[in-house]
Amino acid sequence: MNYTKYFKEVVTLNNYVGTGNPNSKILIIGKEVATDEEKDDLLEKNNLKAFNSNAEDWENNIKNNLKQNEIPNWNIESKQNNPLFAFKGVKPSDHKEGETWRKYQKLHNFIFPEFSLKNNNEPYNFQERFFITEMSELPSKKTKNAQRKKEFQDKLKDRKNIFLNSNFIQNFPIVILACSNYINGQEITKIFNVEFTEQKGNGKQRYWIHKSLTEKPKLVIHTRQLSSNVTDELLIGIANEIKKFLNSEL
């Protein structure tokens, strides 16, 4: 595992950094970590602990030069959920069809058919080729509750100005903004130095394509949160754009 200078820099910001492979070419930015701060059960308590220790856990991974294949499988009793491969060993069959991780795995399978799962009883592997982070650093099980927090807008603005503009985030050639109205088109063009090129899809299954203004190729796709009633057609459309970009630009 190559922990780059840019990644080490972003970890020192002491904010929520994310999970998955920091060396991947594909970054997905969701809305917020879906953790219930008020629910009193072991899973939610451990999830909140993992969220709060995210930067510290990355510091330990860097210090020990930890690799994904060295992380043990997670279980509900685990005292640590390593962000390098969060919930390692969990399978799509452990989640409902509409849950975000199943959508991420489907998207991964459409982009990388050679690494796709044979069935839903095999462990998730999308974190081997994706890095996942969130637009907001305020955890919440439901978006409507997240947006009611008094510090939501200020925190969101700060995260866009500092975290999204970090060299680590800017260095990803492919960015999927799966966060709906948490960011707008004007902000996308400014933050990522891209221009809007095309809208595809229909109704609630739309996505907006942006490409770089510089010599360094970059593809930014803005769409809805990848959960609930997101269709395979939307995921396939996004996957096809990414595959075309990978084949032609990188």
Could you read off the pLDDT of 220-230 as tens digits, one per residue? 999 999 998 99
Report, as an integer, the average pLDDT of 154-162.
96
pLDDT at 214 over 80: yes
Helix axes 100-111, 232-249, angle to 10 degrees: 40
Helix axes 42-52, 54-64, angle to 10 degrees: 70
Topology of 5-249 in CATH? Uracil-DNA Glycosylase, subunit E (3.40.470)
Q: How far is CA 95 from the centre of its chain?
A: 18
Report, as an integer, the average pLDDT of 183-204.
97
Q: pLDDT confidence of 172, banded at 50, 70, 90?
A: very high
More confident residue, 45 or 124: 124
The two structure tokens encoding residue 112: 């990388």
- Quote the pLDDT of residue 75: 84
The two structure tokens encoding residue 29: 């930015």
- Quote the pLDDT of residue 250: 53
Per domain, the residue ranges of the chain are: 5-249
**Which residues touch 89 (CB under 8 Å, ≥6 apart)?**
73, 74, 75, 123
Could you read off the pLDDT of 90-135 as tens digits, one per residue? 999 998 888 999 999 999 999 999 999 999 999 999 999 999 999 9
CB 52 within 8 A of CB 99: no
